[in-house]
Amino acid sequence: MKEAIYDRISVRTYVKKPLLKMETEALQKLIDEMKNLTGPFGHKVRYFVDHQQKNLDDEAKRIGTYGFIKNAPSFVGAVVKNEFTGMIDFGYLFEHFILLLTKRGYGTCWLAGTFDRSAFDHYVNEGEVIPAITPMGIPEDHMSLRERAIRLAIKANRRKSFEEMFFISDIKHPLTEGKKHPIEDALKLVQLAPSASNKQPWRMIVDEQNVHVYLERTPNYGTGKSFVMQALDIGIAMKHFEVGLQSLNIHYHLIQKPYQAPSTFEYIITYQLDMK
């Protein structure tokens, strides 16, 4: 899974052909395996697949991805209870799913604000929401000029520094990359986590064997949505962090242990590490 994190990029242009029958069957098997998994806060998500059977441009217009996603033969989404912790769990579980698709050679792209949710209303019950979907298919070999422009516009290759995201004891002591901290490799995977508009709103304070996770919301971001979009980013970051801890053979427990932090930091959860 660690290799998939390094390999994954947002793919917006796909080979113009539908998935083969064996591919759709393998996808459904993967979804069947995923549907019983729960996120850190106990929520499950309900997946759905939308295979494009008609003119791809017409379908892209129906879904609201025309001009942004090109030639995607299929879209996969999921439904979750519309709660703050539900959004975190959705981000955690859906990123796990996307990384599994990456390992299988498929291209994907997190879409949370650039599709028409009404196109999928028939999948949603009262009190639920579809926070995001992803196109799925074989990536084009060469990134289109439009795709390059989009990546440039959202600064897709720019990441916040360790000092901006990670701290030792308090924010007066930022963690510097390259200082050989025992969990540095896990934090590097967090640094690579995708986020809406590349805002990277997660913050982590390392207090001895505890790693406290926070959300620092971007002011006025996502205010038009019926759910907290940046909670998805926290779930994605948590999935990356856990992949990193597992690669380091560090065992952990999730606990609620609020720790002092700036008022702009919204406490989420604490990882209690077994560093013996």
pLDDT per residue over 54-99, tens digit each?
Answer: 666 666 677 767 667 888 899 999 999 999 999 999 999 999 999 9
Q: Does position 150 have pLDDT exceeding 90, yes or no?
A: no
pLDDT digits (tens, 9 = 90+) for 187-222: 999 999 999 888 999 999 999 899 999 999 999 887
List the CATH number of the domain containing 103.
3.40.109.10
215-261 residue pLDDT tens: 999 998 877 778 889 999 999 999 999 999 999 999 999 999 999 99
Q: Which long-range contacts (CB under 8 A, 24 or more apart) does 117-120 make?
A: 119/62, 119/63, 119/64, 120/48, 120/50, 120/77
Other C-beta atoms within 10 Å of 155: how many? 10
Does 165 score more than 90 pLDDT? yes
Read off φ and ψ for residue 45, nearest 5 degrees.
-120, 155
User: Is 152 domain-assigned?
Assistant: no
Count up the domains in the chain and report the number. 2
Q: How confident is the model at residue 143 (pLDDT cuts 50, 70, 90)?
A: low
- Quick one: what percent of the chain has pLDDT higher than 90? 64
Q: Judge whether residue 156 has pLDDT over 90.
A: no
CATH of the domain at 238: 3.40.109.30
Residue 153 lies in a domain: no
pLDDT of residue 223: 76
Q: 268 in a domain, yes or no? A: yes
Q: Are residues 130 and 167 in the same domain?
A: no
Q: Which residues contact 191 (CB under 8 A, 6 or more apart)?
A: 159, 160, 162, 165, 200
Same domain? For 142 and 172 the reply is no
Are 6 and 143 in a shared domain? yes
Range of the domain at 103: 2-147
Q: Computed from CA positions of residues 35, 231, 104, 114, in that sequence, does the dihedral angle turn out positive or negative?
A: positive
Which residue's entry shows tokens 């019926």? 226
Mean per-residue pLDDT over the chain, rounded: 89
Q: Can you give the pLDDT at residue 144?
A: 56
